Amino acid sequence: MDDIVPDRWYAILESTEVPANAPVARRRLGRDLVLWRDGQGTLHAADDRCPHRGAALSAGTVEDGCVTCPFHAFRFAGDGRCTSVPAHPDQPISRQLHLRTLAVREAHGLVWAWTGAGEPTGEPLFFGLDGFTDAGSRFDVEWPVHYTRVVENQLDWAHLHFVHHTTIGRFVPAEVDVQLEVTGDRIDSWIEGQSGRISVLCPNLWMLEMSAHTRAVLAFAPIDDGRTRIYSRTYQDRVRVPGADAVLGLLNRLANRVVLRQDERVVCTQRPLHGGLHQGEVYVRSDRPIAAFHRWRDTLRHRDAAAAK
């Protein structure tokens, strides 16, 4: 898949999508993956293709913590090693039967995948939301665009007045003086004279400070070059009574669905399907946060390309 930034954690799905005792299939980062949990509940991910004769491992089972192929029941441990070939239990197992794995972690209710070739460094970045709850607010949708178009859209202050004039953009003026602060992997922006702040933790996590007590958070999971799954949550720290927090979460969920649909109508018409600085689009001053995101991405991608020479 194009445009994946190396050596970073990407949020790729919700933890709850992988049950305790069965493998699941997901296409993410341009790869068909199988994800499963071992006996300790630790998550593992690998290519969803059996090295023996190509069956999908996600159609199999989990036995003794190993993903087990539905065809001839070869087993694979979390580190990718083939541990059992039932047709020849007494013979040594070929190293060619090793599965290609992907380093994954679970944090903040999300599964994160490491995009580097070596061992992961550091932990997934997240926003400081201690004391907040997202009960009842989660949902996800899929858009037919590259994830960079979704990130761009969420860094775009100038569209609020036009695309969201019936919802979150009702009180945002057409004229916007966009301010920007870039710190490492974090991009913050706001409009001079308006409350609210948009923060992106590169490569694919976003937060809108809607009020002192409410934060909308989105993760943009790349499926492939033309598809992105968007995971949405609303965090709030005002209502903590169990049940009541979920009702508020449900209302936020419904509202966010409407807002995302308004975005989808426009973003899914953009061509090409991915965004970037060098494809003939004419940026204006209000696009500075979008330009900052692409510069961050280009710097890391080119550094990787230079290192590979």
Q: Tell which phi-psi region holds residue 52, choosing left (phi > 0), alpha (psi between -120 and 50) or beta.
A: alpha
74 binds ligand FES (CB under 6 A): yes
- Order across the sheet with 104-107: list the strands: 9-14, 110-114, 104-107
> In this chain, which of 27, 43, 65, 71 binds ligand FES, going by CB under 6 A?
71
72 binds ligand FES (CB under 6 A): yes
**Between 72 and 265, CB nearer to ligand FES:** 72
53 binds ligand FES (CB under 6 A): yes
Structure token digits, residue 217: 């958070």
How many amino acids of this chain bind ligand FES (CB under 6 A)?
A: 8
**Between 125 and 158, CB nearer to Fe ion:** 158
80 binds ligand FES (CB under 6 A): no
CB 138 within 8 A of CB 84: no
Q: What are phi and psi of 105, to 5 degrees?
A: -135, 160
Sole window of 65-73, 146-154, 174-182, 196-204 interacting with ligand FES (rule: CB under 6 A): 65-73
81 binds ligand FES (CB under 6 A): no
Task: Report how far apart the first and last C-alpha atoms of the chain are (Å, whole number).
Answer: 20
Residue 263 interacts with, from ligand FES, Fe ion, none (CB under 5-8 Å by kind): Fe ion
**Between 52 and 301, CB nearer to ligand FES:** 52
263 binds Fe ion (CB under 5 A): yes
Residue 180 beta carbon to Fe ion: minimum distance, rounded to whole angstroms: 18
Residue 270 beta carbon to Fe ion: minimum distance, rounded to whole angstroms: 13
Q: Tell which phi-psi region holds residue 108, choosing left (phi > 0), alpha (psi between -120 and 50) or beta.
A: left
Residue 33 beta carbon to ligand FES: minimum distance, rounded to whole angstroms: 16
Residues that bind ligand FES (CB under 6 A): 50, 52-53, 55, 69, 71-72, 74
Residues that bind Fe ion (CB under 5 A): 263
